[in-house]
């Protein structure tokens, strides 16, 4: 009897104690130091132009290699950076790194055309943002129209008027705007006419589900976007079937593991040298 109880208790404890919960306060402190420790990296995922089958640009995706815990996902530490206010500093660092990396790559290769960087809602609330971005562009030598900023619908929903003002200022500078993960948040058709933007990135769930309902929604959304002179981007394309679907529905651009995972900056020159053949393979499969 006692043995059985002990067994059960052990079992219960075992579950409760793994995995050890990370102390968020400690993690926030580590994140503060991560920039100076050089633990943050930016990786780059190719964005492909469907019709011409060429790389249009890259999306910059932040990575954190913690000195003890190893790789931590941005879906975990970006919210932490937002809670602690670190996001403004980290967000600017990503933009700066991405602009410099792309400028250097363009000097080496004459390509790619674009670099896309994700923006947190909090960055959009910062009135200094347009000026800060102008300074970064000037210092890096990258033309404003080669920078694309990705914002989610929820970023806009929080403070619509401020968001629109900031976006308008950025657009005036020549920066391009993409709406990220479209269809998952507070999707509102009125945003499509009120917001200044250039590209609509439809959330990967619509491409990946394989449901007829999702295909119907995709068709309608793409039609609306194209009527409004916007480009449409498919995210999370993993299979050739998904590629055929987006091709048939006249998406303009796509990204996903089918082409490549996000790539460390050191490997980009090598990747660009091989890409011509790689991407042609997709269509010839």
Query: Which residues make up the interface to ligand C2E (CB under 6 A)?
Result: 45, 61-62, 73-75, 78, 91, 94, 118-120, 150, 180-181, 235-238, 255-257, 262
Tell whether residue 148 is a contact of Mg ion (CB under 5 A).
no
Query: Which of 30, 148, 180, 252 forms a contact with Mg ion (CB under 5 A)?
Result: 180
Cβ-contact 139, 107 below 8 angstroms: no
The conformation of residue 147, written as its DSSP 8-state character, comes to E
Cβ-contact 33, 3 below 8 angstroms: no
Return the one option of ligand C2E, Mg ion, none that residue 190 interacts with (CB less than 5 to 8 A, by type).
Answer: none
Q: Which residue is nearest to ligand C2E (CB)?
A: 256
Cβ-contact 269, 108 below 8 angstroms: yes
Peptide bond into 257 cis (omega under 30): no
Backbone angles phi, psi at 62, to 5 degrees: -75, 145
Shorter beta-carbon distance to ligand C2E: residue 229 or 261: 261
Shorter beta-carbon distance to ligand C2E: residue 46 or 225: 46
DSSP string, 158-198: HSHHHHHHHHHHHHHHT-EEEEEEETSSS--HHHHHHS--S
Report the nearest approach of Mg ion to the CB of residue 73 (Å). Answer: 11
Return the one option of ligand C2E, Mg ion, none that residue 121 interacts with (CB less than 5 to 8 A, by type).
Answer: none
Report the nearest approach of Mg ion to the CB of residue 16 (Å). Answer: 31
Burial class (CB in 10 A: 0-12, 13-18, 19+), 172: exposed
Shorter beta-carbon distance to Mg ion: residue 118 or 260: 118
Residues that bind Mg ion (CB under 5 A): 118, 150, 180-181, 235
């Amino acid at each position: 009897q006692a043995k059985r109880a002990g067994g059960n208790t052990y079992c219960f404890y075992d579950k409760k104690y793994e995995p050890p919960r990370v102390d968020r306060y400690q993690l926030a402190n580590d994140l503060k130091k991560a920039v100076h420790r050089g633990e943050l990296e930016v990786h780059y995922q190719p964005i492909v132009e469907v019709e011409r089958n060429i790389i249009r640009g890259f999306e910059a995706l932040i990575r954190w290699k913690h000195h003890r815990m190893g790789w931590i996902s941005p879906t975990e530490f970006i919210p932490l950076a937002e809670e602690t206010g670190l996001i403004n500093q980290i967000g600017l660092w990503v933009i700066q790194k991405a602009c410099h990396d792309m400028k250097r790559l363009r000097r080496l290769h004459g390509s790619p055309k674009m670099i896309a960087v994700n923006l947190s809602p909090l960055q959009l609330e910062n009135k200094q943002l347009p000026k800060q971005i102008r300074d970064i562009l000037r210092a890096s030598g990258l033309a404003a129209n080669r920078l694309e900023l990705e914002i989610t619908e929820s970023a806009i929903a929080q403070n619509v008027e401020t968001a629109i003002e900031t976006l308008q200022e950025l657009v005036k500078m020549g920066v391009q705007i993409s709406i990220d993960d479209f269809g998952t948040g507070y999707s509102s058709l009125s945003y499509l006419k009120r917001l200044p933007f250039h590209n609509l990135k439809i959330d990967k769930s619509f491409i990946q589900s394989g449901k007829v309902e999702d295909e119907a929604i995709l068709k309608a959304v793409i039609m609306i976007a194209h009527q409004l002179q916007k480009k449409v981007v498919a995210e999370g394309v993993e299979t050739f079937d998904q590629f055929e679907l987006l091709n048939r529905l006249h998406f303009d651009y796509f990204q996903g593991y089918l082409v490549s995972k996000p790539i460390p900056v050191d490997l980009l020159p090598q990747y660009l040298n091989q890409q011509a053949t790689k991407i042609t393979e997709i269509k010839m499969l």
